[in-house]
Structure 1
Amino acid sequence: MNRLRLMCRHAAAFVRFAGLGSGVTLAASAALVLLSQWIPWMAANVLTTVASSVAATELHARVSFGHGRPGLAGHLKSAATVAAGWLVTSAAVGALAVLRPGAGVVLQQTVYLSATALVGIGRYLVLRLTVFAEGGPRPRSGGGVRSRASYDAVA
């Protein structure tokens, strides 16, 4: 039963991570489209990546992983995963520009969002396993699940 509970807890964290990440990414995507009308796409990508990564790190630390405020170290470690993601998304859109010059905004966004989804899975794993990793088992307060030994002691 503990394994099932652990799997459910990780699945719930991933769903929260994906939901929050998707929301932040869609907002960043809209900002990217708007900004790229006035500044070069790469510069717009940097600006939206920085702003969205700060927001996403706060949300993921607090909501996805229940870790509390991430602090400077958490933001810097998360930023390293964002930097890798920025390289992947930039390479994907850059490859599109080479392979399909003059591709429309819909195709650009499809490639960008697809690359971002793959990056998101990688970020979840890194953040969950290293940056916001859970410590050892937490002691339960009153009302928690009893162990088999406590049931045997009562009987």
Structure 2
Amino acid sequence: METTLSQQQAVPGTFTAFARFVLFGGGVGLASSFAVAALASWIYWGLANALITAASTLLATELHARFTFGAGERATWRQHAQSAGSAAAAYAVTSVAMLALQQLVAAPGVVLEQVVYLSASAFAGVARFAVLRLVVFRRSRSQAAATVRAARHVHATAACTAIPAGPVMLSRAA
């Protein structure tokens, strides 16, 4: 019974899930930037970026499935595909923002470029979080109810086994 509870984790609240999303996604993103630079010293940068992006998306999806959204199990192929789709959409948002900046401002400075890029990334990140939480890693009501029932059952069983079954005899030691 305890195995059932340990395998089925409760769904974390929105704030907790978002903090984990930032931690895991940001950590993987940061590590990826170093990995691309290292790999690009051996192969063409575009290929290095594509390989690291694919690997980091797979890794981040696994981390989000297991820890961020409370599933506690491996991501399915469907979840990997949906996560990759949301990552591609986020990439498109940042690319369109940067292209729009180039069209609107003849010679944008580095600071303006960073403000636009980071703003678009933040917007895309929040949107991606919502898609992953509400669509990709959404747990049905029956799954959530089963988790709660399993937790209650384990706690009730533990409480019952902790209470002695028969009358308690108190004796005085001589």
Between 1 and 2, higher relative CO (CA 8 Å, sep ≥ 6) is seen in 2
| Residue 151 (structure 1) aligns with | none
| Residue 152 (structure 1) aligns with | none
Q: Does 1:69 align with 2:74?
A: yes
Change (3 A) 1:33 1:111: farther
User: How far is the alpha carbon of 1:88 from its aligned partner?
Assistant: 0.3
SS of aligned partner of 1:142? helix
SS of aligned partner of 2:154? coil
Q: Distance in 2 between matches of 1:109 and 1:79?
A: 24
RMSD (Å) for aligned C-alpha atoms: 3.4
One-letter amino acid matched to 2:22: A
Q: Distance in 1 between matches of 2:103 and 2:51?
A: 23
| Residue 148 (structure 1) aligns with | none
User: How far is the alpha carbon of 1:119 from its aligned partner?
Assistant: 0.9
Structure 1 residues not aligned, in runs of 5+: 1-5, 145-155
CA contact (8 A) 1:49 1:86 kept: no
Question: Which residue, out of 117, 125, 128, partners 2:130?
Answer: 125
User: How far is the alpha carbon of 1:60 from its aligned partner?
Assistant: 0.9
CA contact (8 A) 1:16 1:63 kept: yes
One-letter amino acid matched to 1:128: R
CA contact (8 A) 1:57 1:70 kept: yes
1:69-106 deviation per Cα after TM superposition (whole angstroms, max 9, x unaligned): 11211100111111111110111222233344565666
* Structure with larger Rg: 2
Question: Which residue, out of 84, 94, 98, partners 1:93?
Answer: 98
Q: Distance in 1 between matches of 2:104 and 2:33?
A: 22
Percent identity of equivalent pairs:
43
SS of aligned partner of 2:70? coil
- Give the TM-score normalised by the residue count of structure 2: 0.60
CA contact (8 A) 1:58 1:69 kept: yes
Structure 2 residues not aligned, in runs of 5+: 1-9, 157-174
Q: Distance in 2 between matches of 1:45 and 1:94?
A: 20
- Counting only pairs closer than 5 Å after superposition, residues 35-54 of structure 1 correspond to structure 2 as 39=45, 49-54=53-58
Q: Distance in 1 between matches of 2:129 and 2:111?
A: 26
How many residue pairs align between the two structures? 135
| Residue 60 (structure 1) aligns with | 64
Q: Distance in 2 between matches of 1:50 and 1:14?
A: 22
